[in-house]
Amino acid sequence: MDVNVVDVRHVSRCFGGHVALDDVSFSVARGEILGVIGRSGAGKSSLLRCLGALDRPDTGQILIEGQDITTLPQAQLVPLRRRIGFVFQHFNLLSSRTVAGNVSLPLEIAGVPRAQRQERIASLLALVGLAPHGDKWPAQLSGGQKQRVGIARALANDPALLLCDEATSALDPETTTAILDLLAEINRELGLTIILITHEMDVIRRIATHLVVLDQGRIVENAPTLAIMGAATQSTVTQALLSETQPQVPPALRARLVAEPAPDGWAIIRLRLAGEAAWQPLLSLLGQQYDVEATVLQGGTTEIAGQPFADQIVSITGYCTEIHDFLLQFDPSLKVLGHVPADH
Amino acid sequence: MSRLIIDLIARATWETTIMVACSGLLAVLGGLPLALLMVAMRRGGLMPCPPAARLLGLVVDILRAIPFIILLVILIPVTRMIVGTSLGTAAAIVPLSLAAIPYFARIAEVSLRAVDPNLVDAVHAMGGTRWMIVRHVLIPEALPGLVAGFTVTLITLTGASAMAGAVGAGGLGDLAIRYGYQRFNTQVMSLVVLVLIVFVAIIQAAGNALSNHLRHD
């Protein structure tokens, strides 16, 4: 049996003379969380509309659970859309319905009998932590609570795929964390496949297991998140997107950076360690072995897709080829950013 | 004040109520589908067909452009055909409805257009059909505005029904003209105006209360 929930094959889409999607291919396995990132205008929304069967690509195929949705007649797209859950940036809740009423709507659309609906709504609201709020109106809820209703609604018909369109972009950082945790929990517990469309790298870092980077309608990266974050070379687009969440050389120091090593000076390097290496006391090891001083200027160790990942700006005294080779064993992507001459 | 005058005013108020209620009902039955069509056939609507939307808009505007007093006269043959007579309360409902349908259609169109298109998109993405979108999104979301618009329509109809009174429709307008104006009876005239003020105030208050009750944002 085909394990891929989504298979996108050579999909292109044009609007007038503008190419929104250009030969895009990727697949998403069951239970994966795929992050799709790109700047505005990169083709994210076009891709999302095609995946949600709201728009047809000009060429190429999109298979959802093995079924090609690009050739389905319009009438069969309507029931297919019920297999895909949508979570929106601005929640898109009906103000004329209560919280329970909003969650009920996709069930009513799918023709679920009333008695079953009540049961399903109760369990969905419990899942997203809104059990006592069923009778409230959307206007009475906070942004985070509204998005929880949006998620409950998207899950109502047991979708094969959950599409999140900038689902946390309208939320404050704390609420963003809570919503991402909820999505990760749903992914774990229901084994639900999720595609997250976003322009925020931080969202991807936290929960996406795989990452697709879009630029001008083309895919520039398509790999597990950790592999892209730790890769020695990244496309310029990816670098630009990553830089917002990556540690940077402090500006005061950056002004003093020179290309050539200076005697008694410091070398400034970027050190990235994925997996177990991230936990090792590498810098103290370095200090002991080579009798140098190493200090973390920026960054630390976080988790990406459940794996430890360290991304640090480090200053080292007495930097030499031996040290460089030693560090290269742990970080093939090691980069010397420059040198700071000693103060005299 | 004589018993006769009170009876006259009571009967006229009842006739006005009937005329306004019936033509108001017909205004919704005719105007709401028209408004839905105009909204749905717009560019980017549920079933886009801009030329048809423009044509419909033109017909609505033409009907609205005809002064009501002229419409009353033009419609006399039609009214005779439908009701059997061009005189009386029942006969007045025909021109009143025909004036109110395009009026309410335009007001309802504004409310329906104000519904967030993202909500339509959301229900579309959920697998909702066009009819489901109309039933679960457009009408319920626009309902507070539709009720407010209906209130305005009823009050406009109250004014128009007085004009219809001038050509023998009965009701408060008829009473004011025949007894108040033509017989110089200031007492009847003042009473009729007073009743009309209360009549309009009640409609407005009820409309506001219902609209607010339905509004949850």
CATH number of the domain to which B90 belongs: 1.10.3720.10
- Evaluate if pTM is beyond 0.90: no
For residues A221 and A235, the answer to whether their CB atoms sit within 8 Å is yes
> Who contacts B107 (Cβ-Cβ below 8 Å, separation ≥6)?
B31, B149, B152, B153
Q: Which of A134-148, A297-311, A313-327 has the lowest mean pLDDT?
A: A297-311
Where are the extended beta strands (E) located within B23-169?
none
Q: How much is the pLDDT for B169? A: 78
Q: pLDDT of B174-212, one tens digit each? A: 888 888 888 888 888 888 999 999 999 999 999 999 999
Q: How confident is the model at residue A100 (pLDDT cuts 50, 70, 90)?
A: very high
Mean pLDDT of A171-189: 91
Into how many domains does chain B fold? 1
Domain A4-237, second-level architecture: 3-Layer(aba) Sandwich (3.40)
Kindly state the average pLDDT of the residues A144-158: 94
Q: How far apart are CA A178 and CA A168, in angstroms?
A: 10
Helix B89-113 and helix B50-65, axial crossing angle in degrees, nearest 10: 140
pLDDT value of position A232: 67
Question: What digits encode the pLDDT tens for the residues B154-179?
Answer: 999 999 998 887 777 788 888 888 88
Confidence of residue A2 (pLDDT cuts 50, 70, 90): low
CB A241 within 8 A of CB A204: no
Name which of A42, A8, A6 is nearest A213 in CA terms.
A42
- Tell me whether A87 touches chain B (CB under 8 Å): no
pLDDT digits (tens, 9 = 90+) for A201-250: 888 888 999 999 999 999 998 988 888 877 767 777 887 777 777 788 88
What is the pLDDT at residue B52? 94
Residues of chain A with CATH 3.40.50.300: 4-237
Query: Tens digits of per-residue pLDDT, B112-170?
Result: 999 999 999 999 999 899 999 999 999 999 999 999 999 999 999 999 998 887 777 78
Residues 6+ apart with CB under 8 A from B175: B8, B9, B12, B165, B188, B192
Tell me, yes or no, if B106 comes closer than 8 A to chain A by beta carbon: no
Instruction: Provide the pLDDT for residue B42.
Output: 92
Q: Do A54 and B125 touch (CB under 8 A)?
A: yes
If one counts every other C-beta atom within 10 angstroms of the C-beta of residue A122, the result is 14
ipTM for the predicted complex:
0.85
The whole domain housing B146 covers: 3-214
Parallel, antiparallel, or unpaired for β A161-165 and A193-198?
A: parallel
Helix and strand numbers (H, E) in chain A are 12, 14
CA dist A254 → A306, A344, B190 (Å): 32, 18, 87
Instruction: Write down the pLDDT at residue B29.
Output: 97
Instruction: Give the distance, in angstroms, between the CA of residue A263 and the centroid of all CA atoms in the same chain.
Output: 43
Q: What is the DSSP letter of A247?
A: -
- Among candidates A86, A90, A95 on the partner chain, residue whose Cβ is nearest the Cβ of B125: A86
CATH of region A251-340? 3.30.70.260
Cα of A19 vs its chain's centroid, Å: 24
Q: Where along chain A do the CATH 3.30.70.260 domains lie?
A: 251-340
B136–A94 C-beta distance less than 8 A: yes
Q: Which of A82, A98, A48 is nearest to B129 (CA)?
A: A82
Residues 58-97 of B with CB under 8 A from A: none
Per-residue confidence (pLDDT) for residue A94, from 0 to 100:
96
